[in-house]
Chains A and B, each alone.
Chain A
């Protein structure tokens, strides 16, 4: 077996296809240069869309409105349940309705800087431009955003910026935006323009003559695998945070669609860029199946602390004021409890590693509202945070008005994903990736309220423009033959894999392996990473993989509803993706955004970027399971926002 870490550096990315010229004009330029498909010819083109979250739902609806024949897939029982539904806080848009100095350029600037200078300027500027149209579109669909008494839309501010540009629908913004896209999609389903396959999961990509021409998918009810053909395939299957087992992702969110596309030739960019959110409810024991986020708005009024002494197990209210360490206020006096997500998360880890964590297992810190209640009164705190306090009380059975909340960081979002060019096309012609599934807009760290913005920008506006150009240039007059070797090979590989999972009949459950790989990743590829730790993980992962194929136990049969088989098949892909994430983290010997390498920090312990060596996106090309991939670098050019070192002290 070859040494996985002994990767080769291949050709750099030759062209990301962004037009030249002033950044503000590039999107118009690209749209004008794109070839179009005559409206009468569009119904002859079939586009497969995998996923029905904000990106997939909006893309499917919009492509169908344009006249394309859309075949859409979701593994959930209904498109309305995609995990975008769980986003709480809001969606950014440079409307400047507050007249507080916001602009497209400022949103562009904030996003590039928030991403710690690891995103592509052209894409981010387009995102900021489109942000204003998204709000218009959603209001027209009936999304019930929060409004003021004058009937106009309300805004609030969010972390990392100095303007109020976040639109919201109480704590359920994601749900309301998703229902807007779901309803638009439903209208197209009723009109016969979208053929929906719910409870159907993509298990492989079909590439014919170098172009993406279809997918292999399994009907989760009957268990039968089938093939679907198209002129282009769009992956909107979300992020891969569930590699870590415990995360704020939904239980069934998974990496299979993008990982299988990667294995078929789509490069995977910046896989190590993961966002760890500082304010989640800590785990209570080994039974824990997922983690629940508490909106970071709580940090506006809550004070974060741990006991000064190690192993102090007195209840919070018995620990006197002078024996408490308000560590964020101490270390970062200028920003205090409102430092960015990555800084707050790492600081919590550090105090817990010192043995000063609170709650079960010492994996938690206090978020204390006693001062806020004394200052504002309980009623004011209730009005501002009541629903969050109720949610906390329901999960923990503790009253946060009486005892401080306990919080701990958790995996939340993945900035990395399939590499895409300016058109959101992967390195496989005809394969597009949108939303969290691609790597394009957030660099090494995503700002709050920007995920919803990107998903809808990609789905409503970017992809429907750029995919025209591909379809116009690739009219595909011949049908795909189901007997084509590329098709039969993809089907056979999928069926062999499923049959093997069923045949091993070992003594360990799919969940036990998922938990094991997740714990390993959290330990060595989580909030802080070291060369030594990453090398240990890279040694261990092939061993887990080997053990998996020896000891996995999946009851039941393939051709039936079989949730264990679904899960085991997803774990197969986690066991490979985890290895690439560790390699990417190992090779990037700098700290940036959510990627913190302990070897690369400033004298006061902050993330130190190394722009001379690492100002690029790392796009990895798959070779074979366990074999070293090939690295392709896309150099990042900053013409408008000049890289600086962040400081919050």
Chain B
């Protein structure tokens, strides 16, 4: 396949950025999208240009590092991570636009690389169960009903890639935050910190500059792990409940 790529280039956080156009040839249908970019980068290096910077690591859809807006869609046309997107989803002669995540809470580091440390700070605000090493009772001391365990798992699958924020017209992190609130909140081990967890995480989310939620649902559509949209309504309930309880 022969493709035209229009790629966002930006030297660093302060520099202005612009789209640059490149032609790539000899692209195989079996390549992953990132292997296609590897091909471009090998050519750029040999021609003395700087390769296009992009985040990637496991390349099997689980680490959450990869993060491209492809033709306007977070992670591109298939419901998966960019690293699991293959070139057979494109046609010979296509022009493909490649941009970084766009959100004020995810500033660009270079080219297609953004700073997602705001997600880490949301977790630091309360996305954990306080269980210092050595304090644990036997694992079978507290049975967890299977539906609760399955629900916890479904939310715990979030890989923290940020596609939900990139897809949201408001740049909201509600789906990311609610995934962790619901993972921990449904488990008996997470109950003692339920109120402080949701209040602190939501407050941090707002402080980090993420936008508000207007329930457009773009986040859940873009999520490569299928975190469900009702996760957000569940967090809103949890937040209201906590507000009342803490005021009492």
Residues of A participating in the B interface, judged by any CB pair closer than 8 Å: 58, 61-62, 65, 76-81, 83, 85-86, 95, 97, 133, 135-142, 144-153, 169-170, 172, 175-176, 179, 182-184, 186-187, 189-190, 198, 221, 250-252, 284-285, 287-290, 292-293, 391, 394-397, 460-461, 464, 507, 509, 511-512, 553-556, 560-564
* Residue B245 lies at the interface, judged by CB distance under 8 Å to chain A: no
Q: Shortest CB–CB separation between residue A175 and chain B, in angstroms?
A: 6
Q: Shortest CB–CB separation between residue A538 and chain B, in angstroms?
A: 29
Are B58 and A83 in touch, CB under 8 angstroms?
Answer: yes
Closest 9 CB pairs between A and B?
Answer: A151-B143, A183-B128, A140-B136, A140-B131, A284-B30, A136-B136, A144-B153, A190-B124, A144-B152
Q: Which residues of chain A are within 8 angstroms of B120 by Cβ–Cβ distance? A: 78-80, 186, 189, 198
Given pairs A144-B152, A507-B46, A511-B42, 5 additional interface contacts (CB within 8 A): A80-B123, A81-B58, A153-B139, A287-B39, A556-B50
Q: In whole angstroms, what is the CA distance A341 to B29 when docked?
A: 31
Are A137 and B60 in touch, CB under 8 angstroms?
Answer: no
Residue of A nearest to B119 (CB): A78
Q: In whole angstroms, what is the CA distance A306 to B49 when docked?
A: 46
**Interface-located stretch among B109-117, B164-172, B227-235:** B109-117
Known: A76-B65, A287-B28. A182 touches B143 (CB 8 A): no
Are A198 and B58 in touch, CB under 8 angstroms?
Answer: no
Q: Which residues of chain A are within 8 angstroms of B241 by Cβ–Cβ distance? A: none
11 contacts between A and B (CB under 8 A): A81-B57, A138-B139, A140-B189, A144-B187, A153-B139, A284-B30, A287-B28, A391-B61, A394-B84, A397-B29, A555-B44
Q: In whole angstroms, what is the CA distance A617 to B59 when docked?
A: 34
Q: In whole angstroms, what is the CA distance A65 to B128 when docked?
A: 14
B62 partner, pick from A86, A148, A153, A507, beta carbons under 8 A: A86
Known: A151-B145, A183-B129. A555 touches B34 (CB 8 A): no
Residue of A nearest to B44 (CB): A555
Q: In whole angstroms, what is the CA distance A198 to B152 when docked?
A: 28
* Residue B23 lies at the interface, judged by CB distance under 8 Å to chain A: no
Known: A80-B64, A139-B136. A563 touches B53 (CB 8 A): yes
Q: In whole angstroms, what is the CA distance A565 to B186 when docked?
A: 45
1/0 per residue B1-44: CB within 8 Å of A? 00000000001100000000000000011111011001100101
Known: A78-B116, A133-B136, A140-B129. A172 touches B62 (CB 8 A): yes
Q: Which residues of chain B are within 8 angstroms of A79 by Cβ–Cβ distance? A: 120
A555 partner, pick from B28, B45, B62, beta carbons under 8 A: B45
* Residue B190 lies at the interface, judged by CB distance under 8 Å to chain A: yes
Q: Which residues of chain B are within 8 angstroms of A292 by Cβ–Cβ distance? A: 59-60
Q: In whole angstroms, what is the CA distance A149 to B142 when docked?
A: 14
Q: In whole angstroms, what is the CA distance A149 to B143 when docked?
A: 10
Q: Shortest CB–CB separation between residue A532 and chain B, in angstroms?
A: 33
Q: Which residues of chain B are within 8 angstroms of A553 by Cβ–Cβ distance? A: 45-46
Known: A65-B133, A142-B189, A564-B51. A83 touches B57 (CB 8 A): yes
Q: In whole angstroms, what is the CA distance A142 to B152 when docked?
A: 9
Are A140 and B137 in touch, CB under 8 angstroms?
Answer: yes
Known: A187-B124, A395-B84. A461 touches B139 (CB 8 A): no
A395 partner, pick from B53, B55, B86, beta carbons under 8 A: B86
Q: In whole angstroms, what is the CA distance A288 to B32 when docked?
A: 9
Q: In whole angstroms, what is the CA distance A184 to B134 when docked?
A: 13
* Residue B217 lies at the interface, judged by CB distance under 8 Å to chain A: no
Q: In whole angstroms, what is the CA distance A394 to B33 when docked?
A: 13
Are A397 and B88 in touch, CB under 8 angstroms?
Answer: yes
Residue of B nearest to A174 (CB): B62
Q: Shortest CB–CB separation between residue A244 and chain B, in angstroms?
A: 15
Residue of B nearest to A553 (CB): B45
Q: In whole angstroms, what is the CA distance A58 to B136 when docked?
A: 15
Known: A140-B131, A140-B135. A183 touches B123 (CB 8 A): yes
A289 partner, pick from B35, B127, B160, beta carbons under 8 A: B35
Q: In whole angstroms, what is the CA distance A555 to B48 when docked?
A: 6
Q: In whole angstroms, what is the CA distance A12 to B65 when docked?
A: 44
Residue total for B at the interface (Cβ-Cβ under 8 A): 77
Are A251 and B133 in touch, CB under 8 angstroms?
Answer: no
A141 partner, pick from B57, B116, B129, beta carbons under 8 A: B129
Q: In whole angstroms, what is the CA distance A149 to B119 when docked?
A: 34
A251 partner, pick from B45, B48, B59, B84, beta carbons under 8 A: B59
Q: In whole angstroms, what is the CA distance A179 to B63 when docked?
A: 11
A152 partner, pick from B113, B116, B143, beta carbons under 8 A: B143
* Residue B215 lies at the interface, judged by CB distance under 8 Å to chain A: no
Give the most central of A77, A149, A292, A293: most B CB within 10 Å: A77
Q: Which residues of chain B are within 8 angstroms of A83 by Cβ–Cβ distance? A: 57-58, 63
Q: In whole angstroms, what is the CA distance A198 to B183 when docked?
A: 25
A137 partner, pick from B49, B56, B136, beta carbons under 8 A: B136
Are B58 and A86 in touch, CB under 8 angstroms?
Answer: yes
Q: Which residues of chain B are within 8 angstroms of A175 by Cβ–Cβ distance? A: 62, 157, 159
Residue of B nearest to A97 (CB): B140
* Residue B156 lies at the interface, judged by CB distance under 8 Å to chain A: yes
* Residue B80 lies at the interface, judged by CB distance under 8 Å to chain A: yes
Q: In whole angstroms, what is the CA distance A539 to B80 when docked?
A: 44
Are A560 and B12 in touch, CB under 8 angstroms?
Answer: yes
Are B149 and A172 in touch, CB under 8 angstroms?
Answer: no
Q: In whole angstroms, what is the CA distance A391 to B143 when docked?
A: 32
Residue of B nearest to A285 (CB): B28
Are B131 and A141 in touch, CB under 8 angstroms?
Answer: yes
Q: Which residues of chain B are within 8 angstroms of A148 by Cβ–Cβ distance? A: 146
Q: In whole angstroms, what is the CA distance A288 to B127 when docked?
A: 37
Residue of B nearest to A561 (CB): B110
A95 partner, pick from B46, B62, B65, B139, beta carbons under 8 A: B139
B133 partner, pick from A137, A150, A221, A287, beta carbons under 8 A: A137
A561 partner, pick from B12, B31, B38, B184, beta carbons under 8 A: B12
Known: A77-B65, A147-B146. A290 touches B59 (CB 8 A): yes
Residue of A nearest to B67 (CB): A77
Q: Shortest CB–CB separation between residue A344 and chain B, in angstroms?
A: 21
Give the most central of A97, A133, A187: most B CB within 10 Å: A187
Are A179 and B156 in touch, CB under 8 angstroms?
Answer: yes
Q: Which residues of chain A are within 8 angstroms of B28 by Cβ–Cβ distance? A: 284-285, 287
Residue of A nearest to B26 (CB): A287
Q: In whole angstroms, what is the CA distance A95 to B61 when docked?
A: 32
Q: In whole angstroms, what is the CA distance A553 to B62 when docked?
A: 32
Are B63 and A86 in touch, CB under 8 angstroms?
Answer: yes
* Residue B203 lies at the interface, judged by CB distance under 8 Å to chain A: no
Q: In whole angstroms, what is the CA distance A285 to B32 when docked?
A: 11
Are B130 and A152 in touch, CB under 8 angstroms?
Answer: no
Known: A141-B131, A511-B42. A172 touches B157 (CB 8 A): yes
Residue of B nearest to A145 (CB): B149
1/0 per residue B70-91: CB within 8 Å of A? 0000000000100010101000
* Residue B125 lies at the interface, judged by CB distance under 8 Å to chain A: yes
Known: A250-B58, A507-B46. A461 touches B127 (CB 8 A): no
Q: Which residues of chain B are within 8 angstroms of A507 by Cβ–Cβ distance? A: 46
Q: Which residues of chain A are within 8 angstroms of B124 by Cβ–Cβ distance? A: 186-187, 189-190
Q: Shortest CB–CB separation between residue B111 and chain A, in angstroms?
A: 9
Q: Which residues of chain B are within 8 angstroms of A170 by Cβ–Cβ distance? A: 153
Q: In whole angstroms, what is the CA distance A186 to B38 when docked?
A: 33
Q: Which residues of chain A are within 8 angstroms of B30 by Cβ–Cβ distance? A: 284-285, 287, 396-397
Are B157 and A289 in touch, CB under 8 angstroms?
Answer: no
Known: A86-B62, A97-B140. A397 touches B133 (CB 8 A): no
Q: In whole angstroms, what is the CA distance A125 to B35 when docked?
A: 44
Give the most central of A138, A184, A553, A563: most B CB within 10 Å: A563
Residue of A nearest to B144 (CB): A151
Q: Shortest CB–CB separation between residue B198 and chain A, in angstroms?
A: 15
